[in-house]
Amino acid sequence: MANLEDIIYSAATYLLTTFAFLLAFAILRLQPINDRVYFPKWYLKGIRASPTHSRAIISKFVNMDFKTYIRLLSWMLAALRMPEPELIDHAGLDSVVYIRIYLMGLKIFVPITLLAFAVLVPVNWTAGALEQIKDLTFSDIDKLSISNIPPGSRRFWAHVAMSYVFTFWTLYVIYKEYKTTAILRLQFLASESHRPDHFTVLVRNIPPDPDESVTEHVEHFFCVNHPDHYLTHQVVYNANKLANLVAKKKSLQNWLTYYQNKYERNPLSRPTTKTGFWGLWGTRVDAIDFYTVEIGKLNEEEDKERERVISDPNAIVPVAFVSFKSRWGAAVCAQTQQTSNPTIWLTERAPEPRDVYWDNLAIPYVELTIRRLLMALGLFFLIFFFMIPIAIVQSMASIQGIEKVLPFLKPLIEIESVKSLIQGILPGIALKIFLIVLPIILMIMSKIEGFTSLSSLDRRSAAKYHLFLLVNVFVGSIITGTAMDQLKTFLNQSATEIPKTIGVSIPLKATFFITYIMVDGWAAIAAEILRLVPLIKFHLKNTFLVKTEQDRDQAMDPGGVDFAASEPRIQFYFLLGIVYAAVTPLLLPFIIVFFSFSYVVFRHQIINVYNQKYESGAAFWPDVHQRLIIGLVISQLLLLGLMSTKDAEELMPLLVTLPILTIWFHVFCKGRFESAFVKFPLQDAMVRDTLERATNPNLNLKLYLHDAYVHPVFKGGELERTHIINEEEAIMLVTTRRNAQKSHSK
């Protein structure tokens, strides 16, 4: 076990490393050539333009204004300076609420740390149980922790009392945060004058009708069942092939522009290209002519496909975006059940157009439940058995293993340098690759589960990742051994035994987790702000691939808050903090450094870098809250387990009460706030409808909504015009077609 001095020494090392990263960032960000890497948000907003044209060649690439170097960390202040309302306006509510999670961490842990150091550290330090045991090596850290208190001591009352204080303080803070977020969300939704999703409902599982097409069926159904409110609807086309064609055409268009630019700059030689893949082989042809012809061909093909999609009734999936005359009508339709069969005509609030995940819209009910079952089983196996393939790789990575499996490699392996390389890197690599790929696997699993918006996909992936971290990183680090061993432990130990087993090991793992926080937490945040990968990628692209200004815009990869991967990791640090608050308070300052550092960095990033793909209005908060509660309950159960081995029976009833109170608090908060994140209240809808009628009486809603929910590939295409005509026709036919057909067929 590490000594206190060791910890301080390595903390200093990591702090210095982190500071070096920050220094690198502070210098790199000032170079104009990196401008698009560190300030893409402003480019996308159109406020900043390439610094290419106005300055001297040298200052295009390197910042020569040395005054700016003096204020190296000024970006930190700048990041903190923008007030919250402006920030919401600038970066969206999702991002702002996301960084509020870090702020909440500070709000929770700063007072807890102060209290823990004022009360628990003296109580632990002066107990002196460890000194009484002969032949025991212990460090100062252990003297600071609960391990230093002899069993049956009355000093445990302090820990239990503090654990109550910590719990109530945490609950108070997360209650306030839930409330604030709910208010922010409602204000945010109210502040925008109108958004298509306010008026629109996503209708899924439209039942097939032998007499009518999907669009007629939808029209009739809503004309009958929402007669005063129904406005219009958009059907959804299965446009996968068309999307491919559009993407292909876009790439050809880029090449054409590139060669045209080239020719313009050097009109003497007409550029040529080869017809093969990426112009690398094939017959050499005139590039501009070649691409013009190719684009022409694609245009035809695209028109044909577009024609087919629009005219073929099988290309329409049984899903529609139904719009209403008022927010009230949409809110009513989204919250009610339409027919006596609750698996057809499913209505829900439409996601923002950007947020729609088009591929998942048309999954029937039975298939959906089967998919969820399979993915639940898949997640179980992923969490508990992921070590099997990795263990195979790792066993091969041991020298003996490789020599056994591949004996002919023996002479090569016996070379000392090769041997140490294999021993050092290979075992780590398999696990590292898996951990990098993991969020992608989880996202694919969420997609298979059939959620219809990007935001819900992110939320589901985060939930899965959280579970993974909990079982494999938290419990896995405490009960050493594979997850399978843990599964056996869980199955073969009793409900009272599990918290005991884990709880007892908790104080012993404090130094491990302190190191973990520094390696994984601090360093990762520093890497986040340096944006090393996007930096390299941008310069590579800029040098070799960028042909047009459009390409440069695309080479700039602003990214965004990766909620699915980052939020569960915050939760993990929260869990560490709350678990160790009553056990080894020394861990808390490290958590505080993590939270404050992250807060500043991410605030900087959402101001200058990130460009969110969608805006869900902080719809993820109930999940965040729930996971905080899970963390609290785990910490309480582990303290209970730990105490039960310390001859402190009289404290048990007090400790049992805590999780019950916490779970009750969760139920209370759920009832109090959750629906603000799920439903759109009728009163708010009515207020805003009335307001809009007064301020904007001439709004042509039908026109406004007309192409809001068109599949991206149709945007600005011909579909829309055809659609209008179709629609008018449909309205004319509303009352007649079905009857006419029916009387015909009889």
Question: Which residues in this chain contact a copy of itself in the complex, by CB under 8 A?
Answer: 182, 186, 221, 224-226, 228, 331-332, 335-340, 342-343, 345, 365-366, 369, 372-373, 377, 490-497, 660, 664, 667-668, 671-676, 679-684, 686
Residues 6+ apart with CB under 8 A from 333: 201, 222, 226, 229, 322, 324, 347
Q: Which residue has the tokens 């209403």?
A: 324
Choice between 73 and 682, CB closer to a copy of itself:
682
Choice between 373 and 392, CB closer to a copy of itself:
373
Closest CA to 588 of 499, 659, 509, 517: 517
Q: Cα separation of 304 and 211, whole Å?
A: 27
Choice between 77 and 377, CB closer to a copy of itself:
377
Smallest gap from Cβ 410 to a copy of itself, in A, equals: 39
In 3-state terms, what secondary structure has residue 208?
coil
Smallest gap from Cβ 389 to a copy of itself, in A, equals: 20
Q: Cα separation of 378 and 447, whole Å?
A: 13
Choice between 683 and 736, CB closer to a copy of itself:
683
Radius of gyration for the chain, computed over Cα atoms and rounded to the nearest angstrom: 31
Pull the structure tokens for residue 402.
């490789």
Smallest gap from Cβ 452 to a copy of itself, in A, equals: 16
Smallest gap from Cβ 471 to a copy of itself, in A, equals: 15
Smallest gap from Cβ 679 to a copy of itself, in A, equals: 4
CA atoms within 13 A on the CB side of 260: 10
Give how far Cα 23 sits from Cα of 27, 30, 279, Å.
6, 11, 42
Choice between 565 and 655, CB closer to a copy of itself:
655
Q: Cα separation of 685 and 335, whole Å?
A: 13
Smallest gap from Cβ 217 to a copy of itself, in A, equals: 13
Choice between 118 and 377, CB closer to a copy of itself:
377
Choice between 347 and 455, CB closer to a copy of itself:
347
Choice between 377 and 405, CB closer to a copy of itself:
377
Smallest gap from Cβ 364 to a copy of itself, in A, equals: 12
Smallest gap from Cβ 98 to a copy of itself, in A, equals: 22
Closest CA to 542 of 60, 27, 65: 60
Q: Cα separation of 511 and 141, whole Å?
A: 8
Smallest gap from Cβ 319 to a copy of itself, in A, equals: 18
Q: Contact at 8 Å (CB) between 595 and 105?
A: yes
Q: Cα separation of 63 and 48, whole Å?
A: 17
Q: Which residues pair with 324 in a beta bridge?
A: 230
Q: What is the 3-state secondary structure (H, E, C) of 477-490?
A: HHCCCCHHHHHHHH
Give how far Cα 396 sits from Cα of 7, 57, 268, 434, 532, Å.
34, 54, 60, 16, 32
Q: Cα separation of 558 and 92, whole Å?
A: 15
Choice between 179 and 419, CB closer to a copy of itself:
179
Choice between 397 and 676, CB closer to a copy of itself:
676
Closest CA to 103 of 479, 639, 596, 624: 596
Distance, C-alpha 603 to centroid of its chain: 16
Smallest gap from Cβ 672 to a copy of itself, in A, equals: 6
